[in-house]
């Protein structure tokens, strides 16, 4: 079974930016590594049991800033198959569904992280990207790095060195001209710091012999942008959820849709706001995600459409993307 989850279009069809269905809240019930599901290090039933207490309808309505009677909330799980995938969706998906059900939870959508790095194909080239471009390449092309005060261009931009930061790094004590004094150490400085700096320097990719390897924080940024409904290619949704049959699943993740929609009653995948209930080990990753989101310039038409629709629905929405993202981090 295969699913086509990338929209193709003609160059002449770029004058209209399509609006997509939106829930009020997209609730991520987990970010799970495939290899952990193999070695049994994650007790799925216990994991979802801990999450259930944080996802009651009253809590979600409060987070979405809408009355419970109007709440549209969808649930999703991200399976991290990017680095390793020793077992396929035919094994993983039924386990996830059964474990969530045992905790009284319903999963509406299951996504694979490798889909964020998979080639877009011909549509990528039409959009001005390289033929092998992916969703990650698309998002990298939207980065507008946050320049620091006094920036002199000495640091290469993110698309050249694969690093993105939120301020000024400590000066490097490299080779100096003869007779010049050594460069005194200076601390890194966060842009717009509140009293004290929390400087963050994030690797978004590195080049390897086999090609570019995208970092977990950057792929998680792509994931958040998909959940917020902010990505378009030639005005069309970058990814469209594909219906799957849990009784007829592929054995490999490459045959699985980037975003799979499970049968049943479900709200739209993308939403005005997101909530991710995650293990505490993901806190550094999500810190990096929030910083990166603040330096992504999405299509202004999409941004305006979203704010206008939220206003019509009386669903208060912050203008800045990081402020639409919420988290709950669970202890060990």
**pLDDT, tens digit, 9 for 90 and up, residues 107-149:** 999 999 999 999 886 555 555 666 678 999 999 999 987 665 5
Of the pLDDT bands very low, low, confident and very high (cuts 50, 70, 90), residue 182 is: low
pLDDT tops 90 at residue 156: no
| pLDDT value at residue 194 | 81
| pLDDT value at residue 36 | 84
**pLDDT, tens digit, 9 for 90 and up, residues 42-99:** 889 999 999 999 999 999 999 999 999 999 999 999 999 998 888 999 999 999 999 9
How far apart CA 292 and CA 146 sit, in angstroms, is 10
Strand partners, 106: none
| pLDDT value at residue 189 | 80
Which is more confident, 74 or 191?
74
Of the pLDDT bands very low, low, confident and very high (cuts 50, 70, 90), residue 310 is: very high
Q: What rounded mean pLDDT belongs to the chain?
A: 87
Which is more confident, 41 or 138?
138
Note if the pTM is more than 0.75.
Answer: yes
How far apart CA 25 and CA 275 sit, in angstroms, is 7
How far apart CA 269 and CA 241 sit, in angstroms, is 8
| pLDDT value at residue 127 | 59
pLDDT tops 50 at residue 10: no
Q: Based on the number of CB atoms within 10 Å of its own CB, is 277 exposed (0-12), middle (13-18) or buried (19 or more)?
A: buried
| pLDDT value at residue 191 | 81
Which of 104-118, 196-210, 288-302 bottoms out in mean pLDDT, i.e. has the lowest?
196-210
Q: Quick one: three-class SS letters along the chain?
A: CCCCCCCCCCHHHCCCCCCCCCEEEEEEEEEEEHHHHHHCCCCHHHHHHHHHCCCCHHHHHHHHCCCHHHCCEEEEEEEECCCCCCCCHHHHHHHHHHHHHHCCCCCCEEEEHHHHCCECCHHHHHCCCCCCCEHHHHHHHCECCCCCCCCCCCCCCHHHHCEEECEECCCCCCCCCCCCCCCCCCCCEECCCECECCCCEEECEEEECCEEEECHHHHHHHHHHHHCCCCEECCEECCCCEECCCCCCCCCHHHCCCEEECCCCCCCCCEEEEEEEEEHHHHHHHHHHHHHHCCECCCHHHHHHHHHHHHHCCCCCCCCHHHHEEEEEECC
Q: What angle in degrees, to the nearest 10, is found between the helix axes of 44-52 and 89-102?
A: 50
**pLDDT, tens digit, 9 for 90 and up, residues 201-246:** 999 999 988 888 999 999 999 999 999 999 999 899 999 999 999 9
How far apart CA 152 and CA 46 sit, in angstroms, is 52
Which is more confident, 160 or 298?
298
| pLDDT value at residue 11 | 44
How far apart CA 206 and CA 244 sit, in angstroms, is 34
Of all residues in the chain, what percent carry a pLDDT higher than 70? 85
**186: nearest Cα among 177, 199, 176:** 199
């Amino acid at each position: 079974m295969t699913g086509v989850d990338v929209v193709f279009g003609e160059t002449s069809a770029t004058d209209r930016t399509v609006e997509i269905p939106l829930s009020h809240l997209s609730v991520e019930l987990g970010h799970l590594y495939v290899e952990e599901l193999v070695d049994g290090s994650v007790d799925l039933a216990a994991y979802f049991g801990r999450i259930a207490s944080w996802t009651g309808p009253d809590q979600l309505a409060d987070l979405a800033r809408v009355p419970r009677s109007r709440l549209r909330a969808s649930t999703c799980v991200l399976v991290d198959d990017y680095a390793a995938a020793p077992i396929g969706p035919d094994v993983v998906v039924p386990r996830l569904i059964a474990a969530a059900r045992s905790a009284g939870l319903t999963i509406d959508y299951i996504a694979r992280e490798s889909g964020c790095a998979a080639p877009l194909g011909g549509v990528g080239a039409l959009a001005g990207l390289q033929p092998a471009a992916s969703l990650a390449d698309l998002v990298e092309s939207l980065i507008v790095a946050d320049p620091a005060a006094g920036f002199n261009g000495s640091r290469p931009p993110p698309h050249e060195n694969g690093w993105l930061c939120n301020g000024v790094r400590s000066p490097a004590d490299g080779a100096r001209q003869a007779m010049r004094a050594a460069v005194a150490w200076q601390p890194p400085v966060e842009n717009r710091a509140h009293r004290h700096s929390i400087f963050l320097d994030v690797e978004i990719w590195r080049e390897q012999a086999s090609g570019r390897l995208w970092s977990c924080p950057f792929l998680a940024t792509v994931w958040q942008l998909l959940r917020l409904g902010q990505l378009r290619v030639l005005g069309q949704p970058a990814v469209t959820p594909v219906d799957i049959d849990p009784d007829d699943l592929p054995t490999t993740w490459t045959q699985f849709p980037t975003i799979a929609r499970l049968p049943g009653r479900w709200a739209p995948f993308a939403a005005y706001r997101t909530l991710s209930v995650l293990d505490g080990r993901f806190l550094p990753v999500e810190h990096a995600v929030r910083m990166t989101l603040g330096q992504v310039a999405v299509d202004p038409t999409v941004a305006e459409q979203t704010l206008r629709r939220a206003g019509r629905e009386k669903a208060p929405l912050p203008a800045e993307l990081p402020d639409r993202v919420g988290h709950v981090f669970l202890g060990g």
